[in-house]
Amino acid sequence: MWGDAFLFIPNDLGPAPADPAAQLRWYTLRDLNAFHHSRHRADFEDARKHRTRKRVDMLFARLAKHDPLHAGTMQVMNHVLKTLPESARKAVTKVFSRCPLETLEFYKELRGAAGKVMGANHHRRRRDGR
């Protein structure tokens, strides 16, 4: 996986050789590895975050397509997030942006609440004759 490519400095070259020409090659490769690692680490971390965000977006797109309670669940989610303190809201949205499974679990829990709200509204409309 691309995200794991730069967790550690790649190509550990071991100890420097005794031969002067091989030492020059060894130091050059070591420095190039360190330079390449430091230069592209942020790019790979951004790519990992982007792929995770895409997975979360795809998850919500699929839910919107297949779940009849999606609109109500999203309203309940937004309401719950608005009731949280600012620091908790930021923490929850950070979790949503980096973990699709936690997002899905939160969605499932609030989908039950949305079902109850929709059911209550449905019964209220039937009683009122709408």
Among residues of the chain, what percentage have pLDDT more than 70?
82
38-85 per-position pLDDT tens digit: 777 777 778 888 888 888 899 889 999 998 888 888 888 898 999 999
| Band (6; pLDDT cuts 50, 70, 90) | very low
- Separation between Cα atoms, residue 20 and residue 36, nearest integer Å: 24
What global pTM score does this model have? Answer: 0.56
Cα separation, 38 vs 130, whole angstroms? 65
Which segment of 2-6, 31-35, 57-61, 105-109 scores lowest on mean pLDDT? 2-6
Let me know: does 76 contact 117? Beta carbons within 8 Å. yes
Query: What is the per-residue pLDDT for 90?
Result: 92
